[in-house]
Amino acid sequence: MNMRHLLLIITFLTVTVLAGTPLYAQASKGYKVTGEVFYQKNRKALSDVFITVYEVIRNDDGHVTQYSAPNTSYTTTTDKDGKFAFVMDGKKEYLMTFLKEGFLSVPTQIPFKKRNIALGEHISIKVGMKKAANFLVRGRVIDAKSGETISEASVALSHQEDEGNTKLLTTDQNGVYSFMLQPQKQYEISANADGYFKTIQAISVNDKKEEVLSYNFRLNRIESGAVTTLNSFFFEVNGAKIIEGKANELLGIQKMMEENPNVNIEIGCHTDARGDDGYNMQLSIERADAIAEFLIKMGIDSSRLITKGYGETQLVNHCNNGVKCSRQEHETNRRVTIKVIGSME
């Protein structure tokens, strides 16, 4: 378990000790922890809540250093009445987590140590859980040139921390797609169709309110003169090194070129207007060369690639030298373009 999980909101917690004794137990004696879990809004019992108990490990200064992996006796699920029970070592300190699909996770720390509770007494815990907000992303896949919707386009949704768990669908006759999302997650969503460039978009979700996110994909046809802009930025700041794990869109370009052996491309790199003009020009040249090297290593013949560094000579907005702009406005100019050149036969 990482420390980020502990930042999740504890929506409701009541801890009481029967017979009015302190929350401690002897090392030689176990103590029983019983409890119930319910929906905070109406206090109805929640069954099948998955509960895990971790031992809290601290250093000599009292700071938490790790949470031990639980053994099988320290995991359980609530019964039909939302109840559960554990027998624990009285000298140790524990963290309990409560998980149920559609609800926010609840971490509960119980620091029982150093003192005694009488034999036969136990701890009672009541945990109220709050439903997770419902998030939806939906939109259309559209031909960037004609504006017509694209039916049967492939749309994929992946969690940036769990890329192996990808959801796939195809757009309907109106080019529409939709996915349900979880709060506090970072996603990548991509759209692709036969004869078009694949496009990827990052999506962030918070859990402050129910929300419908809208994003329309405008796909460019793979045809001579067509230009598509990559949405991801995969370089180190002020550098030309491609960040490992951030090159999904480049893999899409590689696949497109493998499937279309007659397509040659120009790789264009652009910077914003911050910094020295000459430095930005050189940086954009180095970045274009780095992308070409990446594709060559992936099996694309170098004769099919042309690189071009544009520096800040082709800004897409008003953020030129000396103009005050927001960070987001500047970053709009920092981009990679792929232009189809050569024969399409």
pLDDT tens per residue, range 321-340: 989 999 989 999 999 999 99
Task: Name which of 223, 328, 231, 218 is nearest 272 in CA terms.
Answer: 328
Do both 275 and 191 map to the same domain?
A: no
Q: What is the pLDDT of residue 9?
A: 28
- pLDDT tens per residue, range 242-288: 987 788 889 989 999 998 899 999 999 999 999 999 999 999 999 99
Higher pLDDT, 169 or 111: 169
Nearest to 110, CA basis, from 16, 5, 36, 45: 16
The dihedral over CA atoms of 26, 27, 29, 30, expressed in degrees to the nearest 10, equals 100
Domain identity same for 122 and 141:
no
Is 109 a residue whose pLDDT tops 70? no
Please say which residue of 114, 129, 144 terminates a domain: 129
162 and 175 in a single domain? The answer is yes
| pLDDT of 73 strictly over 60 | no
Could you report the per-residue pLDDT of 17-54, keeping only the tens digit for each?
333 223 333 333 567 788 999 999 999 999 999 988 88
Mean pLDDT, residues 206-224 = 81
Q: Are 144 and 120 within one domain?
A: no
In a shared domain, residues 254 and 290: yes
- Please give the helix or strand (H or E) that residue 330 lies within, else none: helix 327-333
The pLDDT of residue 152: 92
Residue 57 confidence class, pLDDT cut points 50, 70, 90: confident
* pLDDT value of position 69: 61
Last residue of a domain, one of 179, 206, 221: 221
| CATH number of the domain enclosing 292 | 3.30.1330.60
The kind and range of the H/E element at 125 are strand 122-129
Is 50 exceeded by the pLDDT of residue 113?
no
| 167 and 254 share one domain | no
User: Over 50: is that where the pLDDT of 194 sits?
Assistant: yes
Residues 68 and 42 in one domain: yes
Do 161 and 44 have their domain in common? Answer: no
Q: How many domains are contained in the chain? A: 3
107 pLDDT more than 80: no
What is the model's pLDDT at position 93?
Answer: 76
Name the domain boundary from 221, 245, 265. Answer: 221
Of residues 118 and 128, the one with the higher pLDDT is: 128
As beta bridge partners, residue 1 has none
CATH number for 198 = 2.60.40.1120
Distance CA 334, CA 180 (A): 31
Q: Strand, coil or helix: what is 92?
A: coil
Query: 6 burial class (0-12, 13-18, 19+ CB within 10 angstroms)?
Result: middle
Residues 229 and 155 in one domain: no
Same domain, 230 and 337: yes
Mean of all residue pLDDT scores within the chain: 81
Residue 110 has pLDDT above 50, yes or no: yes
Residue 10 has pLDDT above 80, yes or no: no
Judgement on whether residues 203 and 244 belong to the same structural domain of the protein: no
Q: How confident is the model at residue 15 (pLDDT cuts 50, 70, 90)?
A: very low
CA distance 328 to 317: 11
**Domain containing 51 — which CATH number?**
2.60.40.2190
Which of 81-90, 123-132, 148-157 is modeled with the greatest confidence? 148-157
| Residue 141 structural domain | 133-221
Same domain, 233 and 260: yes
- In 3D space, the residue among 210, 303, 204 whose CA is nearest the CA of residue 261 turns out to be 303
